[in-house]
Amino acid sequence: MGKWLPPDLQALGGSSARDWAGYCAMIKRLDDALGRLMDALESTGQAKNTVVAFISDHGCHFKTRNAEYKRTPHESSVRVPFALWGPQWNGGGEHTCPVSLVDLVPSLLDCAGINIPDSMQGVSLLPVITGDRSRLPEDSFIQFGDGFLPPGRALRTHRWKYAVGADNLYQGKAHAQVYQELCLYDLQTDPYELSNLINSPIHEVVRHEFRIRLKARMRIIGEPPCEIIQAETIDDGGLRTVDYPNT
């Protein structure tokens, strides 16, 4: 089984020894069900008139990051399938730009020719298939915690993942007045998030920029003002100092 496990599960284990086979079986069942759905659309002549969206609300990290399977800012929890096909979407190809589940409804309204309300969060992804990314943000804004844990917030760019979390005092609350830095990952060199750089002195410039960007995004969506407490720095142990791009 080991050679089929993603590197994060190989390194961290969690509940994967018990749950991985069942997880793969669930994926197969989903594939089968999607195939039956598409067969039904084809056989009834509705495939050319139907937009199909394939999404998930969260992923699974097999108890490697906390005591459950999700509710963290890690890729295995927050990076989910997002595929659209049908009229106007077919032939659009695969895109790596940062998007969010809040973009789904505006995208469906747009392809149906329905005006998107100004009050609606998210943007239509329809222009992306023609190469127009002008309305997309430079990063993905992530909220985690989900009411069962203290609230957390994160930003993900093509290269970086930066996340903060609140104290247990705020457990079950939608927002917090104070957040503590939790993690910084360089997704270019560490795509499975095995090396947390939040305490690295040589990455302070990166963390400083993300503190500003994260608080700005929180203000845009109407969250109350908050403080972000930066992590304590540690001796860099002779790590090579480099200049990193911040996108």
The tens digit of pLDDT for each residue in 39-54 reads 999 999 999 999 999 9
Give the mean pLDDT of the chain: 90
What the block records as the tokens of 204 is: 């302070």
In which band, very low, low, confident or very high, does the pLDDT at 239 lie, cut at 50, 70 and 90?
very low
Asked if 213 and 220 touch (Cβ cutoff 8 Å), the reply is no
Task: Report the pLDDT value the prediction gives residue 1, as an integer from 0 to 100.
Answer: 53
pLDDT tens track for 65-124: 999 999 999 999 999 999 999 999 998 889 988 899 999 999 999 999 999 999 998 999
Task: Report the pLDDT value the prediction gives residue 203, as an integer from 0 to 100.
Answer: 96
In order, the DSSP letters of the chain are: -GGGS-HHHHHH-TTHHHHHHHHHHHHHHHHHHHHHHHHHHHHTT-GGG--EEEE-S----TTSSSSSSS-SSSHHHH---EEEESTTTTT-----S---GGGHHHHHHHHTTPPPPTT--S---GGGGGT--TTS-SSEEEEE-TTTS--EEEEE-SSEEEEEE--GGGTT-S--SEEEEEEEEETTT-TT--S--TT-GGGHHHHHHHHHHHHHHHHHTTPPP-EEEPPPP---TTPPP-PPP--
Distance CA 123, CA 153 (A): 20
Whether pLDDT at 240 is above 60: no
In which band, very low, low, confident or very high, does the pLDDT at 246 lie, cut at 50, 70 and 90?
very low
Fold classified for 139-247:
Arylsulfatase, C-terminal domain (3.30.1120)
Distance CA 203, CA 123 (A): 32
> How much is the pTM?
0.89
What does each C-alpha distance from 64 to 10, 177, 185 come to in angstroms? 10, 28, 16
pLDDT tens track for 68-84: 999 999 999 999 999 99
Asked if 214 and 164 touch (Cβ cutoff 8 Å), the reply is yes
